[in-house]
Amino acid sequence: MTDYESLHRQCRTLESLFDTKLTSYSRLASTITRNQDDIEAGGSRERWKDVEGEVEDLLEKLRETNDELLALSNNPDTPPSQSMSRAIQRHGEVYQDYAKELRRTKTLQTNVQHALDKVNLLSGVRNDIEAYKSSAADSLLAERGRIDSSHSMTDQILDQAYETRAEFSRQSMSLAGINTRMTGVISAIPGINNLLSMIKSRRRRDSIILGILIGGCLLLLISYMSR
């Protein structure tokens, strides 16, 4: 009965592991339904799914082992003893109890899923709020940047205006200085005003004479052409 001993030990090991995992699964489900605010921070969502998968895997392995024990007990070539039959029957009963307990525990899944859905909703709302805050902050920063750029441009224009005004002032002072020097030169040379007046008068006289000559020439030309 080497096969029986091996399957018997395997059943006991699986039953012990399943009992431990089922207890953890039940506690975790209760924790999730009670402390919904800590689900996301504590990673309960992922742990709950992992433990649920482990419990289901252990129960499936326990079922397979019980099926092998039952098949072994029904083998007419190697009929089991009374103690073996009682042990096999006991393993089957334990499996049935564990299956019922898992189904009962999984009825809490509705509450757990409700808690997870609530966390998802709250997380989505928080993400939307954070996204809005980030967008608003970016808009404010962009607006602040445009205002700063406008101020900088205004400062540059004012600086250019001040520089232009200063340049005009320098040129005005330079022209005033030149005018002053010219006036001083004219005043310093005796008779220069009379000389300038004579030059202007001669130019005016020469212009008149030149005009008379040009007019006379035109009259002679017209008289000649009219013959």
The answer to the question of residue 86 being in a domain is yes
The answer to the question of residue 227 being in a domain is no
Handedness of CA 164, 168, 174, 178 (dihedral sign): positive
What is the spatial distance between Cα 93 and Cα 107, in angstroms, rounded to a whole number? Answer: 21
The answer to the question of residue 151 being in a domain is no
CB 61 within 8 A of CB 14: yes
Token output for 207: 């212009």
Query: How many domains does the chain divide into?
Result: 1
The residue written with tokens 């289901």 in the block is: 56
CB atoms within 10 A of CB 29: 22
The answer to the question of residue 225 being in a domain is no
The answer to the question of residue 191 being in a domain is no
- Average the pLDDT over each of 16-20, 52-56, 175-179, 185-189 and give the range with the smallest value: 185-189
Write out pLDDT tens, residues 96-122: 998 998 888 777 666 555 655 555 555
Domain that holds residue 48: 2-107
The answer to the question of residue 47 being in a domain is yes
The answer to the question of residue 136 being in a domain is no
What is the spatial distance between Cα 83 and Cα 102, in angstroms, rounded to a whole number? Answer: 28
pLDDT score at 162:
75
CB 41 within 8 A of CB 48: no
What is the spatial distance between Cα 120 and Cα 100, in angstroms, rounded to a whole number? Answer: 30
pLDDT score at 61:
92
Residue 41: pLDDT above 50? no
Give the CATH number of the domain where residue 70 resides: 1.10.132
Write out pLDDT tens, residues 50-100: 888 888 899 999 999 999 888 888 877 777 788 888 988 898 999 999 899
Per-position DSSP letters for the chain, written without gaps between them: -HHHHHHHHHHHHHHHHHHHHHHHHHHHHHHHHH-GGGHHHHTHHHHHHHHHHHHHHHHHHHHHHHHHHHHHHT-TTSPPPHHHHHHHHHHHHHHHHHHHHHHHHHTTHHHHHHHHHHHHHHHHHHHHHHHHHHHHHHHHHHHHHHHHHHHHHHHHHHHHHHHHHHHHHHHHHHHHHHHHHHHHHHHHSTTHHHHHHHHHHHHHHHHHHHHHHHHHHHHHHHHHHT-
